[in-house]
Amino acid sequence: MKEKIKTDDKPSYLGHRERLKTRFLKDGGASMPDYEILELILMYALPRRDVKEDAKNLLKHFGSFASVFAAGEAELASYGLSQNTISLFKVMLSAFKRLSFERMQDAKDVMYTNIDYVIDYCKASVLEADVEEFHVLMFDKKLHLIKDALMQKGSVDSVPVYVREVVKEIVLARASSVILYHNHPSGNCQPSDADLKLTKEIVQALKVLQVKVYDHLIVSRSNYYSFHDHHLVDFM
């Protein structure tokens, strides 16, 4: 009777996955390209197949890592992703938004020493938005975050904002300082004339109430513009 020859029938990609995980744990993925991070994520949604090309094709189709997660459920389904994969993407995005908000909430003097936390949160907050949204981050006298107020949604290239409503919301929250932010879905974060005019009107209205406007941030998925960094807010 012939002895059966034992064969290793494990899929070849399993060794690749273990190497990816080991590399990720060494530096938190800092040295890995976007497609490898996306590949790691897809492993948990598609555990029984090689997903390297899937990750590359997703990035090619949507254009960037952020755009993959910003895509709507219908768009992801139309591309061909399963509900399981779509759910994983949306859970991860929701977790990142919550992490960004809590990190900003817990940081001391966030607008002076940890402004990167604010920028990360603002980007995450409007990542999925396909129209402009105008928000106000409100802080108390000790610079603790009170709330993030969505004031208005607009179109793909503008958002109507009423200074009276912004001031009313800030007064009701008893905020001592604020950071304004809105998104530009086009990706171009340069302020328009309307952005400059609106910011000036809000700054002047709040000066009367001794509420400081620390900054107005215009954000996109991968970029931002700070009125504070360009020395605009203090001269309005």
| Selection from 3-12, 114-123, 197-206 with the highest mean pLDDT | 197-206
- Has residue 5 got a pLDDT over 50? no
Mean pLDDT of the chain: 90
Q: DSSP letter at 153?
A: E
pLDDT at residue 201 in the model: 96
- Has residue 33 got a pLDDT over 90? yes
- Determine what percent of the chain is predicted with pLDDT higher than 70: 94
Question: Which tokens go with 115?
Answer: 């402004």
**109-235 homologous superfamily:** Cytidine Deaminase, domain 2 (3.40.140.10)
pLDDT at residue 235 in the model: 66
Tell me which H or E stretch contains 95: helix 83-106
Domain with CATH 3.40.140.10 in the chain: 109-235
Per the model's pLDDT, the better-predicted residue between 50 and 219 turns out to be 219
Confidence of residue 10 (pLDDT cuts 50, 70, 90): low
Over its C-alpha atoms, the chain yields an Rg (Å, rounded) of 23
pLDDT at residue 112 in the model: 81
Strand partners, 147: 138
- Has residue 34 got a pLDDT over 70? yes
Question: Which tokens go with 99?
Answer: 């992490």
CB 153 within 8 A of CB 135: no
Reported as a single tens digit per residue, the pLDDT across 94-105 is 999 999 999 888
pLDDT at residue 2 in the model: 41
CA–centroid distance for 23 within its chain:
25
pLDDT at residue 122 in the model: 96
Within 10 angstroms of residue 195's Cβ, the number of other Cβ atoms is 21
Per the model's pLDDT, the better-predicted residue between 113 and 25 turns out to be 25
Reported as a single tens digit per residue, the pLDDT across 143-172 is 889 999 999 999 999 999 999 999 999 999
